[in-house]
Structure 1
Amino acid sequence: MKAAPSPILMLFLVVFVNMAGFGVVLPVFPFIGTALGADPAAVTLAMGTYSLGQFLGAPLWGKLSDRTGRRPVLLLCLVGSILAYVAMAFAHDILALGAARLFAGLMAGNIGVAFAYAGDVSAPADRPKAMGILGAAFGLGFIMGPAIGGLIAGQNPGLADFARVCWAGAALTGVATLLVLALLRESLTPERRAAVLAAGGGPGMGQLFGTKPVVIALMALSFLMIGAAAMMETVFAIFVHDRFAWGARDVGLSFALFGVITAGLQGGAAAPLMRRFGARAMAGAGIAAYGVGVAATALMPTPALMLVASCVTAVGVGLFSPAYQVMVADVSEDRDRGLINGLTQGISSLGRFVGPAVSGSFYQGIGPAAPFLIGAGVMAVALLLLLSMRPKVAHAHP
């Protein structure tokens, strides 16, 4: 890649910390929520406020980074994430936990800024590799986050164990903040920012949608894929506990396994696969794999078979995510890169809110398999949407 190793490494760290922050409480939060007297619907809704915060914050941070630069926005959000962990450590009811997760999500809206930075410093031919590396950070975040949370909390966690998980997340984010402060340079030089401002400061959302309607289709695609994934993630712990008597440590290690698969695909196989087949085809394969895997997860009769099926969903995410980011990067330019990445990341965060908001109700009202089977149906819709997109726009072939 033409970019120096240190910027991509720092971006990797930013994305990793944000995803670890999302994942670190996944194996613990349902048990803590239940201990506080909340039902599954309330627990999944409180977990989902993190993604609601991302939805609200991502477009704003992206637009701000187009005007002021990427680095100050990344640093501000990292400091805010530390404060959010502290708030969670001192929360003792489901409402306070949900509010702290909402603030954490607002600060995690900088993931779109990280992808915009990668777009700033990578040539089109290098983007599959750059986006694959950042995509791998998502996977590794799911390896380390749930694994750390599950191992620190133990098999039967209490409030004190949950607080220790939060302090570990704060410490990890603090290290990332110091490294970014010391090593990450600004990607939007004064000259490039001046050019954006001279052109009117970049388009507003209405103007952007009018000139680049493909952004709307990309947003819808992300919403469907991430919403279905979030339904599975937020009820998985409850599902395997009810069906197979799994505890927090079992769930954490399972998420770690999913992360290994996702990170391996995104960090190693994404670039050569996209060079051979193109981003659109790879995104379609990811959607199909996720749909098959999530349906099979609900239907498998033994823990081993269920885990194999769940690993197929990890393959789907590992194929889809880097392909999708290349498709987004290929419709972006300096004046709107932060906004477009903020919008696409924001709408994916809305999916991460809507999925948990309904998954608990589906689980209670319809049955334990319902969130998984409905997610598979959503994947069928997503695949049809992708196929309907014009190939000359959706097929980001390096």
Structure 2
Amino acid sequence: MDSDDERDVERASLLSVDTLVEKPRPAASGRPTPLPKLQIAILLGIQLAEPISSMLIFPFINQLVQELGVTGGDDKKLGYYAGIIESMFFIAEAACVFQWGRLSDRIGRRPVLLLGMMGNILAILCFGVSKSYWAVIAARAFAGATNGNIGVVKSVMGELTDATNVAKGFALMPMVWSIGGTIGPFLGGTLSHPYERYPSWFGNNVFWKEYPYMLPCMVAAAYSAIFFTMALLFLQETRPKRTLAGKEYHELSDVPDTPTVIEPSPTDLSDPEAPPSLRSLLRGPILNVVMCYNLLALTEIAYGVLQPLIFATPVASGGIGLTPKDIGIALAVYGFANGVIQANAFSRLLDRFGPKRMFMFGMFALTLEFTTFPVMQTLAQATGGANLAVWIVIVLQFVLGSAISSAYGTVNIFVVSTASRAALGATNGVVQTTTSCARAVGPSIAASLYAWSAEKNILGGWFAFLVFGLMGLVCIYASTRLPATPRKKETKDYDLE
């Protein structure tokens, strides 16, 4: 037992449980606790800002790289440079997100969420006015560094829900991500280059010709500004308030059962509210959850990078030759359909099959995704473009993508259920840091591996798909180590002001 845990045991033994834990307020027998609608709505609105801002670049990222001139006219090198741009967000996020989560444990969730929204607004506007490759990279890095919201949002959702409604609450998160996957690509695909595309509205102002990607960025920033204002006015703090000698206890399961008296160290006495160490956070069942989460993140981000890359690459270079507008509309339709599926089916499927089986099925669907790319490329090359058969394969990809979204919902439930209540923000920060590392290397590895295999014609340019398909099988094996059911929480952990 670590010294922190032993010290908590000694302190807990001096007080009765009634002084530590608020009495449970269970819902009526057999009925779930109602979700706090206003707080959930604001929280999901904050979450929605991230996929909108990050995914609006997907339809035009390859065109942007071409216009910046860094490839020297060689389309086969698009993957290298586009992958670096997409990776920079997650590299910066990995460096900073744990500290944002830890900070939310100390000063509260609300101020960290507000800071993240402000950073999102500034970052997306900087991206819109970037005129060089390095300026684009710097803007993406700034966006990642200020993006502490995703881990904190998960912490707040865990504090707003209990065992009776946690599935319903977390079902909304992949739904919101899907909505962002609808709005973001739609904005990027339809509002980029407005000077040429909509001359009657924007043709009289050379600003839109000089900054062809500023319009979708401005719309995304405006959305973030709206929910920044709503959060500032109406969002309440959910960080648990009840403390014991500087430590927070929220459930009977968090209070040690057997008292053990030890001599506290001088460091313990001098700083009773010292932040938890990484060692104290990452132990026990949470390790298996973190491993599965990282394998999911790495493999899924690779697929997420390869899909628009292959969509945009000309048929002669191994792609299917879709335009940015076609890509934007396709991803938008998928995002909308996926959101509807997650909202209506996730919680019911979770109740029927359980989180472990749903996660494993999502991993199986992710593995199958990579087998669709060679089929799609072969069909496109046979007819010289995206024919009906190609679009059928794209629809199949989108159907499998819905199962992958469900996997994210289930793994988030595992994180909240296995984490210590006293350091939920820090734990989500650690999880988000490790997954950000996976997502940081994923785009560069995926895009570079695809570009290399296409350039060298390794396995007909399909070597990258084989590698990530095998990684999907590793994900399936790792998911067998998850607990059959997450630890249940019977009471809420928060007390809204």
Q: Same fold (TM over 0.5)?
A: yes
Cα distance change on mapping 1:286 and 1:199 into 2, 3 Å: farther
Matched, 1:206 2:279: yes
- SS class of match (1:388): coil
| Kept in 1: contact 2:52–2:180 (CA 8 A) | yes
| Kept in 2: contact 1:294–1:309 (CA 8 A) | no
Which residue does 1:196 correspond to in 2?
A: 248
Pairing 1:1-398 to 2, within 5 Å after superposition: 1-39=33-71, 40=78, 41-153=80-192, 160-191=211-242, 195-196=247-248, 200-201=273-274, 203-209=276-282, 212-241=283-312, 242=314, 243-300=319-376, 301=379, 302-367=389-454, 368-391=461-484
| Kept in 2: contact 1:297–1:307 (CA 8 A) | no
- SS class of match (2:147): helix
Which residue does 2:384 correspond to in 1?
A: none
Task: Supply the distance in 1 between the matched residues of 2:55 and 2:123 (Cα, whole angstroms).
Answer: 14
- SS class of match (1:108): coil
Q: CA deviation at 1:171?
A: 1.1
Cα distance change on mapping 1:297 and 1:140 into 2, 3 Å: same
Task: Supply the distance in 2 between the matched residues of 1:345 and 1:240 (Cα, whole angstroms).
Answer: 29
Task: Supply the distance in 2 between the matched residues of 1:192 and 1:184 (Cα, whole angstroms).
Answer: 22
Amino acid at match of 2:477: L
Cα distance change on mapping 1:390 and 1:147 into 2, 3 Å: same
Q: CA deviation at 1:86?
A: 2.0
Amino acid at match of 1:11: L
Gaps (5+ residues) in structure 1? none
Task: Supply the distance in 2 between the matched residues of 1:278 and 1:220 (Cα, whole angstroms).
Answer: 19
Q: What is the Cα-based RMSD across aligned positions, in Å?
A: 2.4
| Kept in 2: contact 1:27–1:248 (CA 8 A) | yes
Gaps (5+ residues) in structure 2? 1-32, 72-77, 198-208, 250-270, 380-388, 455-460, 491-497
- Would you say how many aligned residue pairs link Structure 1 and Structure 2? 395
Q: CA deviation at 1:109?
A: 2.7
Q: CA deviation at 1:203?
A: 2.3
Q: CA deviation at 1:7?
A: 1.0
More deviation in 184-193 or 357-366?
184-193
| Kept in 2: contact 1:43–1:94 (CA 8 A) | no
Q: Where is the helix percentage greater, Structure 1 or Structure 2?
A: 1
Q: CA deviation at 1:392?
A: 5.7
Q: CA deviation at 1:305?
A: 2.8
TM-score normalized by structure 1? 0.92
Q: Which has the larger radius of gyration?
A: 2
| Kept in 1: contact 2:356–2:483 (CA 8 A) | no
Q: CA deviation at 1:201?
A: 4.9
- Render the CA deviation track for 1:302-353: whole Å, top value 9, x for unaligned: 4213312321331222220111111111112431211121222222222222
TM-score normalized by structure 2? 0.74
